[in-house]
Structure 1
Amino acid sequence: MGAWAADAPSPGIPTTVMVRVVGNRAMALGDAVGGAAVTIKDLETGAVLASGVQTGLGGDLRSIMMTPRQQVEQIYSSKGSASFTATLNLTKPTLVEIAGEGPLKFPRAKRRASKTVLLYPGKHVNGDGIVLDINGLIVQIVSPTPDRPLGIGDGVTIRTTVNMMCDCIVEPFGNWDSRKMELYGEVRVDDKVIGRMEFFHQGPKGIFQGDYTIPKWLKGKDRLTLRVVASDAEGINVGYDEITYHLVPWEQSRDATGRDIPPIGK
C-alpha cells in the first residue's frame, strides 16, 4: 500500500522504495496475519521518512517455496505478494534503516527485523524490494479456553495450532512438516514447571492434541498455567502460547450430570 512520506528540501528527486516482510522459510506476512508495520528512518538525522502497514496476500506457494531459482531471480514479486511501497523525495544519497515488525494480528508472535540500506536519489527499489526476514512461529492454544476452570485431579485435553509467520499451516507431511519440528507442553505453577506433555496431530487439519492429569497434590493452589512451545529442528523459528487457568477442587469442576461446569461468569 502507499504511505505518507516526510517532505524533503526542494528540489527532491522522487525515489520509490519497495519493502517486503516475510516469514523465515515461509511466505510474506499478508492480510491473514494483519500484515507488518514498516518504518524507513534516516540514520543521519533520525527522521522517519515513511511508515505504514504491509498489505496483500501471502503469495503463491509453488512460486515462493517450490520453484528452483538463480540467486538473482525474483522470488516474491514474480506472482505478487504482500508489500509496502513508499515514494521518498531525496536530495542526496541517504543511509536509512528499514524495519519491519509483525505479524500484527498475533502480538505474542510479533518480531522485528531491520536492514541498513543506501538509497540513491532516483534509483528506485523494486522487484522483490528490500526483503526483511522474520523468525518465529505462531502458536495458539485452541482449548480449553481461559474462562474454563480446571479441576484438581481431572484429566485435561489441550488442543493447539502451529503456523508459520505467514499463517501457513504446520502439519505432518505438509508443506511445513511438523515431523521435523518439536512441539511440547509445559504445566507451570508459581513459575515452576511441574509437568510436560507431548502433542500429536489429531485433526482436523493443523490441530494438535495433548493430555494431562492435574495432580491432586495441587490442592490449595488456585492457578495453573499451560504453555505450548514449538520449534523447528535448528531452533531458528520458535513460538509459544500460554494460558493461566483458575483451579477448583475436583468435585466443583463438574455438575451433577458429570458434565464440565460452565465457564466462569456464565
Structure 2
Amino acid sequence: MKALILIATFLFSGLMVSATETQIMIRAKARDAKFIGSSLGGAHIIIRNKVNGQILSEGNTTGSTGNTDLIMKTTKTRETSITDSQTAGFLASIDISEPTFVSIEVVSPFNNKQAQVAVSTEFWLIPGKHILGDGIILEIPGFIIDILKPRTHQYIALNTIKGEPFLFQANIVMMCGCVIDKGGVWNSDEIEVKGILKKDGKYLKDVNLSLISTNLFEGNDLLNNPGNYELTVYAYHEKSGNTGVDKVNYVIYE
C-alpha cells in the first residue's frame, strides 16, 4: 500500500511540475486609432479554455494609448512594432501542461456601457511559448458618444423654449479616448454627426451637429409642440467604417 501511495504521489507531483508558465500580452486597439488603456478605464480581457469554458485569466488593460506618430503616421512593414514599453495591454500568465486551444474576449470600453463592443479570437497556446511584444491585438470599432443636452428624461417647459433654438449637444471621442478636432489626426470634417429626432414614437426630423470645440458637437432646431421626445445621435466615418450611437429621451410639457 505504501508503495502505491509513493507511486501515486510521484506521478501527481510529476504532473504538477510539468505545468509550464506561459505568458500572453493582449492589447485592445481602437479601429483607425490607438490603444485602450488606463485613461479610459481599460478594456476587459477574458481568456478561456475552449474545451471546458474555464477562465484561465481575466483582467483589464493598463498603460498609455501609445505613440501617435508610431501608430498613426509611420510607414509599417511586416516586422514593424507599433507598441512600446508604456503601451496599454494585459499580460496574462497561464500554467498549462499541454497545447491548449483558448479563446480571448475583449469588452471595451469597459466603463462606457452604451458604447461597449465585444470582440474575440481563438488560437493554440503552447506551454512555455510566450506571446509578447505587440502580442495579440484585437481591434475595437466605433465611437464613444455621450449626449449632454438634453439630459436623460429631462422635463422642459414649452414656454421656456418656444420660438427659441433648442440646443442639442454631444461629446464624441474615438474608442481609445483619442480626441476629435478640426484638421486633427481624427478630423471632425470627415465625420458625419447627426441627430434623429422622434416625437411620440414617430420620426420628426434630422438635426445636423457640428464641432464647436474639441470632441464637442452641437446642433439646434425649433421645437414648438409638447410631447415625449427621443433623440438618437450617430457618428459615421466613411473611410474607416467607424460608427457610434447614443440615445436619450426627454419630455416637453405645456
Query: TM-score when scaled to structure 2?
Result: 0.87
Aligned length: 235
Match of 1:99 among 82, 94, 105: 105
Residues 17-39 of structure 1 show CA distances to partners (whole Å, capped at 9, x for unaligned) of: 11001111111111222111101
Match of 1:108 among 98, 101, 114: 114
| Aligned-residue CA RMSD (Å) | 1.7
The Cα shift of 1:143 comes to 2.3
Residues 62-120 of structure 1 show CA distances to partners (whole Å, capped at 9, x for unaligned) of: 221111121222112x3531100111111111111111111012111100111111111
Q: Structure 2: any 5+ residue segments left out of the alignment?
A: 1-14
Greater shift, 26-35 or 153-162, is seen at 153-162
Alignment of 1:1-266 (within 5 A): 10=16, 11-76=18-83, 78-146=84-152, 148-152=154-158, 153=162, 154-203=164-213, 205-216=214-225, 219=226, 221=227, 223-234=228-239, 236-249=241-254
Whether the 8 Å CA contact 2:37–2:64 is kept in 1: the answer is yes
Larger radius of gyration: 2
Q: Structure 1: any 5+ residue segments left out of the alignment?
A: 1-8, 250-266
Distance 1:71 1:191 in 2: 52
**What letter is aligned with 2:237?**
D
The Cα shift of 1:180 comes to 1.5
Whether the 8 Å CA contact 2:32–2:240 is kept in 1: the answer is no
Whether the 8 Å CA contact 2:153–2:248 is kept in 1: the answer is no
**Residue 114 of structure 2 aligns to a residue in which SS?**
helix
The Cα shift of 1:236 comes to 2.3
Percent of pairs with identical residues: 27
Greater share of residues in helix: 2
What is residue 257 of structure 1 aligned with on the other side? none
**Residue 176 of structure 1 aligns to a residue in which SS?**
coil
Distance 2:236 2:169 in 1: 17
Distance 2:78 2:119 in 1: 22
**Residue 137 of structure 2 aligns to a residue in which SS?**
strand
Whether the 8 Å CA contact 2:153–2:249 is kept in 1: the answer is no
Whether the 8 Å CA contact 2:31–2:240 is kept in 1: the answer is no
**Residue 64 of structure 1 aligns to a residue in which SS?**
helix
The Cα shift of 1:202 comes to 1.8
Distance 1:71 1:164 in 2: 26
Closer, same or farther in 2 for the Cα pair 1:173/1:79, shift >3 Å? farther
Whether the 8 Å CA contact 1:30–1:54 is kept in 2: the answer is yes
Whether the 8 Å CA contact 1:60–1:79 is kept in 2: the answer is no
Whether the 8 Å CA contact 1:59–1:79 is kept in 2: the answer is no
Residues 218-248 of structure 1 show CA distances to partners (whole Å, capped at 9, x for unaligned) of: x4x2x21122110111572111112111211
**Residue 33 of structure 2 aligns to a residue in which SS?**
coil
